[in-house]
Structure 1
Amino acid sequence: MNAGFSFQRVGAMMLRYTYVLRSSGFRLLEIIYWPIVQLFTWGFLQTYLIKGYAGQFIGGVEMAAGALVGGVLLLDILLRAQQGFSFSFLEEMWSRNLANLLMSPLRMSEFATALMAMSFIRLTISTLPVTFIAIWLFGFNLWALGVALGAFFAILLVFAWAIGLFISGLLLRYGMGAESLVWALMFAIQPLGAVYYPVSVLPPVVQPISWALPPTYVFEGLRGVLLDRVVRWDLLAQGAALDALLFVLAALWFSRFLKSARRAGTLLQTGE
């Protein structure tokens, strides 16, 4: 009998995904590989900027370059959290196991909770080594942001989960035809999220779209900490409010498309 929310079922799903992750060393390697490649690419650009222009702009280039590498690290948190959520969901579609889960006592809220927990675990595996490499090679300490880092992390994580729910709803309804969105959608958000430049750089017509995305408030807040030495709590509060709204909308979207998929009978047609 399915009686209420069960942490045991959540734990069972997490155990399943942990076994899948452990079953292949290449899966673990991929989690760490891409963040390191990104860090090296932008980190060496930072080194070039500092060495090439430090004599012309004393201190300014170092702070701007620090904002660049900090943006790379925070962007990677956003990407890995979303992909960690979506990849666990895709595992069920690739193995044609989704219909079995939906016929089990597992609730969708428990399923989503397990996906979010695995997203956090995968994110931890990928992020920790990269932050220490950034300190060692490029002299940028993400942990030095202190309490602001916690706020940045929370906003990015919840937004990533909202995007994960949104994409999962599309996968439920339209099948593997929507699989490419797992990789593509967040990169479409990147130029609008003011990752490497302030919102003021964007055309005026695009700026309202940028401010409608929670990551924008994080990256503007990061520049406030690194360049102005001020934690913009006003920006972070707005980003958190937007996060909450988008997460609720994404959960409703997922629920609606699950019902639609059940009516259309597409749940048995998923898989490779």
Structure 2
Amino acid sequence: MSNSSNQTTATIPQIRRNRSALIRIQSVMMRHLYLMRASWPRIFELMYWPSIQIVLWGFITQFLLTNSSYIAQAAGVLVSAVLLWDILFRAQLGFSLSFLEELWSRNIGNLAVSPLRPYEFLFALMVMSMIRTLIGILPATFLAILFYEVSLYDLGLPLILFFSNLMMMGWTIGLLVCALILRVGLGAESMAWLTIFLIAPISAVYYPVDILPEWLQALAWGLPTAPVFEGMRAILFDQGFQLDLFIHSLLLNILYFSIAIGVFLWAYHVARKRGLLLQMGE
């Protein structure tokens, strides 16, 4: 009887320790669950990548299965598409990261009280974006020539036009991402990496627009990116440079870029007026 009583007594502290451990584990989990609940970008990020991957590669597979003649030229077209897409990605990320680095270092408040005008700040971010993009993309273009015998420079003069359109689109997305961060805080900083891929399935990067469902084709032609990649494929398939696609992309870029500048300046003005710039940082 005494042995049974001693065993029961001995297990009580162990039960209490286990219960305390469970409470501590629960506390850490609840902290992160509350953090997720208070930040919709974090929840969105969890669902984002699997959804984008299945949509993007589903369209690629569907296109290749129904266009066997494309496979003979697929290497050059796909490598060129990847390089052009990386210009867009680097332009947007270079802009957003330059802005985020000011937030992380808590320097944005100093800039706000300095003589620096908002449009001067934006121009500096765009120049830094271009520098970051060139540093990232130039070595990749030479590696494509070395390993795959695919030269992006074979596009000729249209390459400059494609580059400028993709840079402008990247800046547009970067401006909107930065405006969102100014409004909701650094909880939305993951959008700097996510947003650009949201338009990837309807940008016709690896396949033509007509492979998309009809209702998505309208959205694709409403983006400046789809005409750029359609124009790239037209050149690589010996159809020549299509001026109408370039004008289409340029006009959309001017429209969206103007709107994005307005949205950013509004968000910057509100954040500065409410003193939010001094509260952001790591």
TM-score (norm 2): 0.74
Q: Please, which of 123, 126, 131 is the counterpart of residue 133 of structure 2?
A: 123
1:45-194 alignment, distance < 5 Å? 60-194=70-204
Counterpart CA distance in 1 for 2:89 and 2:126 is: 14
Partner secondary structure for residue 239 of structure 1: helix
Contact conserved, 2:220 with 2:226, CA < 8 A, in 1? yes
Contact conserved, 1:165 with 1:251, CA < 8 A, in 2? yes
Counterpart CA distance in 2 for 1:195 and 1:61 is: 16
Counterpart CA distance in 2 for 1:118 and 1:262 is: 23
Q: How big is the shift at 1:239?
A: 0.1
Partner secondary structure for residue 92 of structure 2: helix
Counterpart CA distance in 1 for 2:94 and 2:175 is: 12
Name the structure 1 match of 2:225: 215
Contact conserved, 2:89 with 2:196, CA < 8 A, in 1? yes
Q: How big is the shift at 1:206?
A: 1.1
Contact conserved, 2:209 with 2:220, CA < 8 A, in 1? yes
Contact conserved, 2:112 with 2:272, CA < 8 A, in 1? no
Q: How big is the shift at 1:65?
A: 2.5
Name the structure 1 match of 2:263: 253
Q: Please, which of 273, 276, 280 is the counterpart of residue 266 of structure 1?
A: 276
Name the structure 2 match of 1:197: 207
Runs (4+) off by over 4 Å: none
1:221-260 alignment, distance < 5 Å? 221-260=231-270
Counterpart CA distance in 2 for 1:209 and 1:78 is: 18
Partner secondary structure for residue 168 of structure 2: helix
Q: How big is the shift at 1:264?
A: 3.4
TM-score (norm 1): 0.77
Contact conserved, 1:175 with 1:269, CA < 8 A, in 2? no
Counterpart CA distance in 1 for 2:222 and 2:274 is: 33
Counterpart CA distance in 2 for 1:112 and 1:146 is: 30
Contact conserved, 1:86 with 1:167, CA < 8 A, in 2? yes
Q: Partner letter of residue 107 of structure 2?
A: N
Name the structure 2 match of 1:10: none
Counterpart CA distance in 2 for 1:116 and 1:225 is: 29
Name the structure 1 match of 2:4: none
In structure 2, the gaps of 5 or more residues are 1-63
In structure 1, the gaps of 5 or more residues are 1-48, 50-55
Of 157-166 and 255-264, deviating more is 255-264
Counterpart CA distance in 2 for 1:172 and 1:102 is: 13
Percent pairwise identity: 49
Counterpart CA distance in 2 for 1:63 and 1:221 is: 16
Contact conserved, 1:79 with 1:186, CA < 8 A, in 2? yes
Question: Whose Rg is larger?
Answer: 2
